[in-house]
């Protein structure tokens, strides 16, 4: 039958060119370039060399943030590198401008996509005892309490619906 719908055959594995081996993921090269540029910047002497190293680090960061992950393993490596870099450079976040926000968004996006637990950013206590950020309790509310409330709400709604229907039925029979 020429008019019949033909379904693709998924029983065979895809062609060899459809898969990207882990070591060929382009994000790994971008991570390596950024890591090396950051290390060079850390040991650069102040002056012209430091400025060039800073420019190279920024260019490598932009390349890394713009490179797509071809494999899940590459995405995990990028998450790990971004988390490390965000923790190391947190005191200088203002110097990065939009790149800092893009890096945090990329890390959060990949974490959500891959189901990786996000970073817990706890408040920092100063020696005076003052907190830099409001303390948030990261523990979720117990599920049993929420479940009991939901069941009680459903039961109350059902009771009101049945009682209201009975009242209206009784009232309508009197008319």
**What is the model's pLDDT at position 175?**
76
Report the pLDDT value the prediction gives residue 37, as an integer from 0 to 100. 93
Distance from first CA to last CA of the chain, Å, rounded? 67
Which of helix, strand or coil describes residue 131? Answer: strand
Q: For residue 56, what pLDDT is reported? A: 93
Q: Residues 100-110: pLDDT tens digits?
A: 899 999 998 99
Whole-model pTM?
A: 0.57
Token pair, residue 68, equals 């797509």
For 28-50, what is the mean pLDDT? 90
pLDDT (0 to 100) of residue 3: 57
Q: Which residue has 């998450």 as its token pair?
A: 79
Identify whether the C-beta of residue 114 lies closer than 8 Å to the C-beta of residue 79: yes
Q: And the tokens for 88? A: 């190391």
């Amino acid at each position: 039958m020429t008019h019949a719908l033909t379904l693709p055959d998924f029983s065979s594995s895809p062609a060899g060119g459809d898969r990207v081996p882990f070591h060929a993921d382009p994000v790994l090269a971008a991570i390596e370039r950024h890591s090396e540029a950051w290390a060079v910047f850390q040991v650069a002497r102040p002056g012209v060399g430091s400025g060039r190293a800073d420019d190279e680090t920024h260019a490598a960061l932009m390349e890394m943030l713009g490179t797509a992950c071809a494999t899940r393993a590459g995405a995990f490596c990028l998450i790990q590198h971004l988390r490390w870099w965000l923790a190391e450079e947190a005191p200088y976040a203002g110097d990065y401008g939009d790149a800092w926000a893009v890096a945090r968004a990329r890390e959060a996006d990949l974490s959500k996509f891959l189901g990786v637990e996000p970073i817990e950013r706890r408040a920092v206590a100063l020696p005076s005892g003052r907190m830099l950020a409001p303390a948030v309790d990261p523990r979720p509310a117990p599920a049993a309490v929420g479940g009991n409330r939901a069941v009680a709400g459903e039961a109350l709604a059902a009771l009101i619906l049945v009682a209201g229907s009975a009242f209206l039925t009784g009232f309508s029979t009197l008319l």
